[in-house]
């Protein structure tokens, strides 16, 4: 065995790398299994990509029909949640309404790790319009986004605070309806005869997002890491057996060679 180690240093280095990797994967697998709060990096990535997607949408404003329902929750088994985020809007178009309700299209956006087979087609959005001076054209508003909880972040502290500026609810203004579409999927009939505008969602600090891996995700990662570790251990055992047998064969071959030379000299 010692001869085998001396004669094949690259294989020995490879063996040690496999051993260290397998032990590391074993450690990670049990860490994943026994830890409670493991940050979900997919949720952070999805939220940043979602904000980028919403900034690329064209926004259409019109007065909300009385009987129009904007709820997207058609399945009682899907858990819904609401998050707040900061957005900059052009008050020139929004100030004719007391508050806004509508839908944010998700066409063109895909979750990095979708929890279901189908990504929701839209999120609900609703917010009140603050009273602003006539010379102010843009204002930051804390808006509410509502959708399936598995596609929305959990914040460790308030992501934005509702403005202390009085809203226009008391002014008896109509409720506005907001709809969106992607520029790449532009439709001539979209917002026909209505007002086009834009909304700018502010980027967020990743350290405020407190999403953690669920039990299903942790179990899946644990099983994958454990199986990979077991495969590496199997390869290590094969290398060990090969080294032991090869070492014995080398001694046996030298003995045979000596005997052969002795016979030939006689």
List, in order, residues 6 or more apart from 233 with CB less than 8 Å away: 22
Angstrom distances, CA of residue 140 to CA of 95, 202, 234, 248: 13, 10, 60, 78
Assessment of whether the complete model's pTM goes beyond 0.85: no
Question: pLDDT tens digit string along 209-253?
Answer: 888 888 888 888 889 998 999 999 998 888 887 777 665 555 555
Answer for the pair 143, 159: CB distance below 8 angstroms, yes or no. Answer: no
Instruction: Note the Cα 195 to chain centre separation in Å.
Output: 34
Question: pLDDT tens digit string along 104-160?
Answer: 988 888 887 776 656 788 899 998 888 877 787 888 888 999 988 888 888 888 778
Residue 184, both tokens: 């790449």
- DSSP bridge pairs for 82: 146
The radius of gyration of the chain's CA atoms, rounded to the nearest angstrom, is: 32
Question: pLDDT tens digit string along 170-190?
Answer: 567 888 888 888 764 556 667
What number of CA atoms fall less than 13 Å from residue 245's CA on the CB side? 6
Question: pLDDT tens digit string along 199-219?
Answer: 889 887 777 888 888 888 888
Residue 14 clears pLDDT 80, i.e. is over it: yes
pLDDT at 133: 77
Integer Cα distance of 163 and 145 in angstroms: 16
Integer Cα distance of 21 and 40 in angstroms: 24
What number of CA atoms fall less than 13 Å from residue 66's CA on the CB side? 0
């Amino acid at each position: 065995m010692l001869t085998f180690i001396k004669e094949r240093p690259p294989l020995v280095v490879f063996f040690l790398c496999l051993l260290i990797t397998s032990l590391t994967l074993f450690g990670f697998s049990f860490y994943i299994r026994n830890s409670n709060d493991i940050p979900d990096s997919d949720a952070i990535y999805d939220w940043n990509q979602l904000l980028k997607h919403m900034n690329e949408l064209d926004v259409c404003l019109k007065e909300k029909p009385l009987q129009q329902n904007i709820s997207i929750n058609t399945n009682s088994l899907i858990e819904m949640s609401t998050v707040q985020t900061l957005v900059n809007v052009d008050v020139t178009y929004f100030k004719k309404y007391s508050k806004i309700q509508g839908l944010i299209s998700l066409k063109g956006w895909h979750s990095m790790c979708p929890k279901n087979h189908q990504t929701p087609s839209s999120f609900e959005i609703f917010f009140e319009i603050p009273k602003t001076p006539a010379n102010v054209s843009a204002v930051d508003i804390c808006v509410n986004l509502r959708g399936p909880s598995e596609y929305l972040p959990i914040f460790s502290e308030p992501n934005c605070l509702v403005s202390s500026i009085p809203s226009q609810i008391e002014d008896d203004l109509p409720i506005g309806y907001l709809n969106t579409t992607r520029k790449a999927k532009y439709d001539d009939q979209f917002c026909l005869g209505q007002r086009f505008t834009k909304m700018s969602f502010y980027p967020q600090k990743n350290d405020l997002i407190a999403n953690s891996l669920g039990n299903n995700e942790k179990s899946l990662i644990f099983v994958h890491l454990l199986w990979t570790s077991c495969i590496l251990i199997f390869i290590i055992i094969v290398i060990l057996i090969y080294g032991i047998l090869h070492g014995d064969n080398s001694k046996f071959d030298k003995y045979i060679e000596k005997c052969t030379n002795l016979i030939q000299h006689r």
